[in-house]
Structures are given as C-alpha cells and as structure tokens.
Amino acid sequence: MEEIQKRDIRKLSLSELEEFFLEHGEKKFRAKQVYEWLWNKSLKNFDDMSNISLSTRELLKQHFSINHILVDLMQHSQDGTIKNAVKLYDEKIVESVLIPTSKRITACVSSQVGCSLDCNFCATARLKRMRNLNPDEIYDQVVAIKEEAETYFNRPLTNIVFMGMGEPLLNYNNVIAAIEKITSPEGLGMASRRITLSTVGIPKMIRKMADDEVKFNLAISLHSAINETRSRLMPINDKSPLEELSDSLKYWYEKTKRKVTYEYVIWDGINDDETHARALAKFCKIIPSKVNIIQYNPIDEGEFRQASQQAVEMYVRILESQGIIAKVRKSRGQDIDAACGQLANKNEVSQLTNI
Ligand code: SAH
C-alpha cells in the first residue's frame, strides 16, 4: 500500500477535521469527539480514544500523527519551582517553569526555540533563534505544568505567563492560536485575565494586539526609560525607541482600557541612579501602569550585577511618591537556572553546539 505522508493532526482546525471525516464517509460529529480527545484531554495516541471505533482510529493513524511534546528532564528547586526541559517533535528543546506561591501556581512558557533579540543580560539570547513554536507545542507546555501542579501540589494551575524563551510577539499567530485553545472550553477553559504576555515591546505588534482586542494582560520589559541606556541593554531599542513604544502603548490603552505592567531590573552602575528612577516614573504616567522590579539573575561573570538594596528602595520611594504601584519580585528557582532570563538549555549542550 502506498505510504501516506502523515500530517500533524493538531494543525487542523475543527472544521478542517470535520471536512476530513466527511470526505472519508464518516459522520461529521466524530471530528468534535476527536478534537476533544486531542485538546481537552491531551491524548497522545489514537488508540486511547475509547469512543472512536477501531476502523476510524486506523483511518486516523494512516493519515495523521500526534506530535506531542515530551518532558525530557524535570528539575525541582529548593523553593518548589519546577523546570521542565521539553523535547519537541524535531528533538529541539525548550524550557518551561512552574512557579508556586501561596496563592497561585503559574506556568511560565516558551514561545520560540532560542531568541533573536540579543538582550545583553539574558541567557536565552545566547541561543539565537532556531524556530517558532507551533500552537500545540505552546499548549502542551501548559498542560504539562497543569498536570505537575495537580501531582506535586494538589492544586490547580492558576496563571500563565509568556516569559520563557523567545519573543511572543515575533510568533504572534501561533501564540494567539495557543491562547485561543488555552481559553476555549474545548481546551483548558482558562480565563484570559489569568494570562500575561511579556514582550520587549514591538510597537507594530502592540497596535495589532490592540486592534485584535485581545483580553489577556500585557507586560513590557522596559529596564530603562532612557533611550541611550535601553539601547545598550536591548538592541531592539535602536529599531523601536521609547517614543515609538509609548505611542503604541497609548494606542493600546485607548483601544483596550487595560493597564500595562513594566518589568524592570535595576543594575549596579547602569540604571541605579535617581535620574533613571525619575525617568521611569515619568514613563509610567503615559498610560495607567504598574512596575514589577525583578531581581537580576546572574547568567555569567559578565558586566551585569544586581543593584544595591538602597537603589531598589530609592526606586520604590520615587515611584510610590508619584502614586505608581511598584512591587519588588523575588527571584524563583535560581538554583536550577529556572529564573527570568536563565533559560538556556544548560543541560542540552548539543543544542548550543549545533547552531
Ligand atoms: N521576550 C520576552 C519574554 C522573555 S523574558 C520579553 O522580553 O519580555 C522574561 C523577562 O525576564 C523579561 O522581562 C526579561 O527582560 C527578563 N530577564 C531576562 N534576562 C534576565 C535576567 N538575567 N535576570 C532577570 N530578568 C531577566
């Protein structure tokens, strides 16, 4: 018999799957059943689809594969954080993290293999970008963490942040498709307001998100509200300086009426002075916003060092005196390189040398 080139079944929409069944003389409603097994129940093989007849399962097997991710290595931090090294169908690896707190369990997921943005302080940048993740690969990371939350903490997954490897706005369509599945009743049925997308801030895409009326939260990795400093930290700022970013944020707020969160690391000798703190306070007035001051997670012996406690307190004082909410976030999972900016497939040396 002629070998059929198998397609990844989860690349098909529900209506495409319905069409497939009709073309093969099957009932249309079978598609919905299969779709639920694939997404809601995250089945990894056709034989487990118990309400689907043997012959239909054979038909599916003949035409399709289910390219499921595999959690290749799971590391547990002393603070409860779990890091998954996730193997994709083409053997590439990305990392995702489960972050437990007393109130929440958050999944931090990757959107690309590696990253193209070259932020100087981030370990993922060293990997370069290899490819975009497919919607199902993003979705599967969330499912894996949801299962781990239930197994290890006996608690449900409450939040999702796109703060793992990669720049979500450079893989926009797939990220949106994954979020659609995460929020839909056929998928995980999670609320959009529990999802946060973090970006370096690509103005064109921020406008697009506003036009698309997305319902999730937006976080911007700001790190400096002074162009010269920001460009030194994040080369993307040369292409899209702060003026353009702020224009796109105004557009975002006009359209969505949702405030943004600025992520901000304070480094010794780089942005730890009052001028930078005041520039940030001014930037925060552009649209309603709040600030998450995140601790720097060292990635090597390089030029970056976490600023002093006094500098952090100075920032908080200045921001709060101007009515801006500023939260200082403790780093999580540092001992297993699971904290912000540390995801670099350290246990997968082959990937680094393959580039
Ligand atoms: N590309 C997206 C999401 C990935 S990074 C973005 O840039 O927002 C998630 C957050 O970790 C960003 O705010 C990023 O600036 C920050 N980050 C990167 N490296 C870090 C490090 N070494 N220590 C602390 N935060 C870091």
pLDDT tens-place string over residues 68-117: 899 989 999 999 999 999 999 889 999 999 999 999 999 999 999 999 99
Whole-number Å distance, alpha carbon 39 to ligand 1 midpoint, is 29
What is this structure's pTM?
0.91
Query: Per-residue pLDDT for 342 more than 90?
Result: no
The predicted pLDDT at position 347 comes to 64
Half-sphere exposure of 246 (CA within 13 A, CB side): 15
Distance 240 CA to ligand 1 centre (A): 18
> Cα(221) to centroid of ligand 1, in Å?
7
pLDDT at 62: 95
What are the backbone angles phi and psi of residue 53, rounded to the nearest 5°? -65, 160
Q: Which of 26, 95, 137, 148 is catalytic?
A: 95
Average pLDDT, the chain: 92
Q: Which residues are annotated as a binding site for S-adenosyl-L-methionine?
A: 166-167, 198, 221-223, 297
Which protein residue's CA is at the shortest distance from atom 15 of ligand 1? 221
The tokens describing 11, both together, are 């690349």
- The 3-class secondary structure across the chain, one letter per residue, is CCCCCCEEHHHCCHHHHHHHHHHCCCCCHHHHHHHHHHCCCCCCCHHHCCCCCHHHHHHHHHHEECCCCEEEEEEECCCCCEEEEEECCCCCEEEEEEEECCCCEEEECCCEECCCCCCCCCCHHHHCCCEECCHHHHHHHHHHHHHHHHHHHCCCCCEEEECCCCCHHHHHHHHHHHHHHHHCCCCCCCCHHHEEEEECCCHHHHHHHHHCCCCCEEEEECCCCCHHHHHHHCCHHHHCCHHHHHHHHHHHHHHHCCCEEEEEECECCCCCCHHHHHHHHHHHCCCCEEEEEECCCCCCCCCCCECCHHHHHHHHHHHHHCCCEEEEECCCCHHHCCCCCCCCCCCCHHHHHCC
Tokens describing residue 77: 């931090």
Q: What percent of the chain has pLDDT over 70?
A: 95
Compute the half-sphere exposure of residue 126: CA atoms within 13 Å on the CB side of its CA.
15
Structural class in CATH, domain 70-353: alpha beta
Confidence of residue 352 (pLDDT cuts 50, 70, 90): very low
Predicted confidence (pLDDT) per residue in 151-200, tens digit: 999 999 999 999 999 999 999 999 999 999 999 988 899 999 999 999 99
- pLDDT over 80 at 301, yes or no: no
Ligand 1: atom nearest CA of 295 is: 24
- Residue with the smallest CA separation from ligand 1 atom 17 is 341
Task: Judge whether residue 354 has pLDDT over 60.
Answer: no
> 313 an active-site residue?
no
In this structure, the residue with its CA closest to atom 21 of ligand 1 is: 341
Active-site choice (18, 108, 263, 340): 340
When pLDDT is averaged across residues 304-321 and rounded to a whole number, the result is 96
CATH number of this structure's domain 8-65, picked from the four choices 2.60.120.10, 3.30.360.10, 3.40.50.2300, 1.10.150.530: 1.10.150.530
Determine the pLDDT at residue 192: 97
Which residues make up each annotated binding site? 115, 119, 122, 166-167, 198, 221-223, 297
Query: What are the distances in angstroms from CA 154 to CA 44, 80, 327?
Result: 23, 13, 28
Return binding residues for [4Fe-4S] cluster. Answer: 115, 119, 122
pLDDT, residue 2, reads 53
CA atoms 112, 12, 191, 42: torsion sign = negative
Report the separation in Å between the CA atom of 163 and the middle of ligand 1, taken as the mean of its atom positions: 7
Cβ < 6 A, ligand 1 pocket: 119, 121-122, 163, 167, 198-200, 221, 263, 265, 294, 296-297, 299, 340-341
Domain ranges of the chain: 8-65, 70-353
Confidence of residue 351 (pLDDT cuts 50, 70, 90): very low
Q: Whose CA is nearest to atom 2 of ligand 1?
A: 199
Residue 337, pLDDT score: 82
The residue whose CA has the least distance to atom 18 of ligand 1 is: 341
Measured between alpha carbons, how far is 35 from 214 in angstroms, rounded to an integer? 24
Rounded mean pLDDT, 242-250? 98
In ligand 1, the atom with minimum distance to the C-alpha of 115 is 1
Per the annotation, the verdict on 95 as an active-site residue is yes
Angle (nearest 5°) at CA 15 between 14 and 16 = 90
What percentage of the chain carries pLDDT values higher than 90? 81
CA of 15 to the centre of ligand 1 (A): 38
Ligand 1 atom 4, closest CA: 163
Ligand 1 centroid from CA 294, angstroms: 9
